[in-house]
Amino acid sequence: MKNKHARGYTLVELIVAIGLFALIMVLAAGAYLVMIGIARQTQGITAGINNVSFAVETMARTIRTSTNYGCPTAGTDCSGGPTFSVKDINGDTVTYTSNSGAITEQINSGAAVPLTDSSISITSLLFYSFGVSPGDATQARVTIVVSGTVASGVDKTKTVPFTVETSATMRGSDI
């Protein structure tokens, strides 16, 4: 004997249930794709800022271990100069400047080599040096301020501004 109350789902109930499930899945997939886009954009910005930090630390390391500071030439203090030169431990003259939106390093009279990635656009590179003049009794120190934008995203159309600042002091005494 069959139970009259034991019935299955009707076709209308199944269509409504599948429709609701599909709607929820479309919304969830859209949110997932937005999160993936934001993660890629964040990774691009992080990679750009890390690249700028690496370039600034490279300059600071060279400055710390060098002699004959100058802005733009050796033995000259400056307050906001765009070019900075040092004589490194090998005796080579190393010059840092901003060229075509990149931080560049030039050794002696060789070609200028970019230190930053193409996703970075440097709008301002300034050097502030103190105590580098001959006969100056203060310890030589340099402050580097870099400003610019980082392009991010798949198409590199979104830009985020940044400013990075660091200081370097000559390891040996110039007194």
**pLDDT digits 0-9 by tens, 48-65:** 889 999 999 999 999 888
Q: What is the pTM of this model?
A: 0.76
DSSP 4: T
Residues in the chain: 175
Q: What are the sequence ranges of the domains in the chain?
A: 11-169
How would you write 47-107 as a 3-class SS string? HHHHHHHHHHHHHHHHHHCCEEEECCCECCCEEEECCEEEECCCCCEEEEEEECCEEEEEE
Amino acid at the residue 121:
S
Q: pLDDT tens across 119-142, in order?
A: 899 999 999 988 877 777 778 888
In this structure, what token pair is assigned to residue 171? Answer: 């390891």
